[in-house]
Amino acid sequence: MQDDVVSVTRAHLFGTWRKQRGWTPLNAVKGEGCYVLDASGRSILDFSSMLVCVNLGYSNRAIAEAVASQIGTLPYVIPSMTTVVKAEVARLLKEVLPEGLEKFFFSTSGTDAVEAAIKIARLKTGRPKILSRYFSYHGSTSGSIAASGEVRRWFVEHFGKAGDVVFAPPPYCYRCPFKLKYPECGIACVEVIDHIIKNEFGIAGIIFEPVVGTNGVIVPPEGYMERLQEIARENDVLLIDDEVMTGWFRTGKWFAVEHWGVKPDILVTAKGLTSAYVPLALTAVSREIAEHFEDNFFAHGHTYEAHPVGLAAAKAAIQEYRRLRIWENVERVGRYLGRRLRELEERHRSVGEVRGIGMFWAIDLTRDRNTREPFSVYADKYAGNSTMAERLAAEALKRGVYLLGYVNNLVIAPPLIATEADVDRGVDVLDEVLRVSDQEARG
């Protein structure tokens, strides 16, 4: 049966973001806590919350029961109708979102939420352009992939972009594009954003991940986020905060911008909103933006907007974050995770930098510590070459640990319920597999 499931999947379904030849998907049959059981009975530690989304781990009874109850009561209504669960989730969101975000649009994925945000920004301002950053990922649909500053955009952009996007450098201190050092640099990577806005016509908003996600968990240096907000306000452009990965306590706060006191005009989130139990995403906007659409046409919608089953999962998940006081576990275990990962930085010459916040970390692989040359770059991914991060992730999976490896980084983001024992198991496997990259490193 195991072979049949895999072969049918392989024959008739697409594997995402890859060439199809050679894809042999793992057949997962059950999840419990931080572990997934495959069809052979092997227990696999999920050390990246799959795609940094299963925040509350597997088999959370409260979410499962809420979903089942909603399906049995009212599985769907047209978006122009309302339900009790719509109002309940709206009230909860007002309590937990950053101050000033007051009106909401629900969709089914992070990429849908970003599409809505970009469209809303253009409709509100009457301007066509979005400023994004390199090393960002905002989704796979036309507008969101156009705003993604990484290799997945390369495969499709020659067909034409969905609107205008301009890019700025990321706050990537380890490999600074300006060859400068913080803080003597004056945070040049944010000041250039001001320069771009002043020299580009028609920028509606700045879209940003407060902590870069799959492209390396890049945490901005002190002063960066505060200055970014100043630049947006001074130039009258909207701040679009992409919290698809960083929301829901992944960094230790409800939302990552809270670390810096930033108040976005638009916030998008998904993944941890339901702990990935049911597809649901959110685009939240300020009162000023909401009022614009009182007398202007809101040109957006989905059949599954505000789906009652997704909302039931969101309500239960928000209540679970509170009941479990999940921020306390993120603080304690996240600190321990960072300490254990930095031990790897000291032991392995192929580890260039370990960085992160809360329970969101990355290992930046380096072929040469002296020059900071990476093992793999976007051009390798575009050419279809096997990257070192993918090789190490495959080696970890053989040892019973799932890791998200992308281009030149390993993303370590276990479920927020993880224990120190779970961390030890994951780090011990990382310690083993990094010997593979060490053999090809120098310096």
For CA atoms 41, 44, 50, 55, give the dihedral sign: positive
Asked if residues 38 and 256 have their Cβ atoms less than 8 Å apart, the reply is no
**Number of domains observed in the structure of the chain:** 2
CB atoms under 10 Å from CB of 183, counted, come to 11
Residue 4 has pLDDT above 70, yes or no: yes
Residue 377 has pLDDT above 80, yes or no: yes
Residue 1 has pLDDT above 60, yes or no: no
* Residue of 362, 361, 358 lying closest to 374 (CA atoms): 362
Question: 309 with 392, same domain?
Answer: no
Residue 193 has pLDDT above 60, yes or no: yes
Q: What is the mean pLDDT of residues 73-99?
A: 97
Question: 108 with 148, same domain?
Answer: yes
Q: What is the mean pLDDT of residues 375-393?
A: 95
The pLDDT of residue 229: 98
The pLDDT of residue 3: 65
Report residue 108 CA to chain centroid gap.
15
Asked if residues 280 and 314 have their Cβ atoms less than 8 Å apart, the reply is yes
Question: 218 with 359, same domain?
Answer: no
Q: What is the mean pLDDT of residues 212-241?
A: 98
pLDDT band at 91 (very low <50, low <70, confident <90, very high): very high
The pLDDT of residue 76: 97
The pLDDT of residue 442: 87
Residue 156 has pLDDT above 80, yes or no: yes
Question: 28 with 76, same domain?
Answer: no
Domain boundary among 291, 323, 355: 323
The pLDDT of residue 133: 98
Containing structural domain, residue 338 = 2-56+325-438
Residue 443 has pLDDT above 80, yes or no: no
Question: What is the rounded distance in angstroms from the CA atom of residue 340 to the CA atom of residue 311?
Answer: 37
For the domain that residue 185 is a member of, what is the CATH number? 3.40.640.10
Average model confidence (pLDDT) for the chain? 96
Question: 40 with 120, same domain?
Answer: no
Asked if residues 365 and 412 have their Cβ atoms less than 8 Å apart, the reply is no
Domain boundary among 304, 323, 342: 323
Residue 160 has pLDDT above 60, yes or no: no
Question: 192 with 68, same domain?
Answer: yes
Question: 376 with 230, same domain?
Answer: no
Q: Please report whether residue 23 resides in a domain.
A: yes
The pLDDT of residue 84: 97
Q: What is the mean pLDDT of residues 392-417?
A: 98
Q: Please report whether residue 388 resides in a domain.
A: yes
Asked if residues 351 and 215 have their Cβ atoms less than 8 Å apart, the reply is no
Buried b (16+ CB within 10 A) or exposed e, 341-364: bbebbeebbbbbbbbbbbbbbbbb
Question: What is the rounded distance in angstroms from the CA atom of residue 388 to the CA atom of residue 189?
Answer: 28
Question: 20 with 81, same domain?
Answer: no
| Number of residues that make up the chain | 443
Per-residue pLDDT tens over the stretch 132-155: 999 999 999 989 999 999 999 999
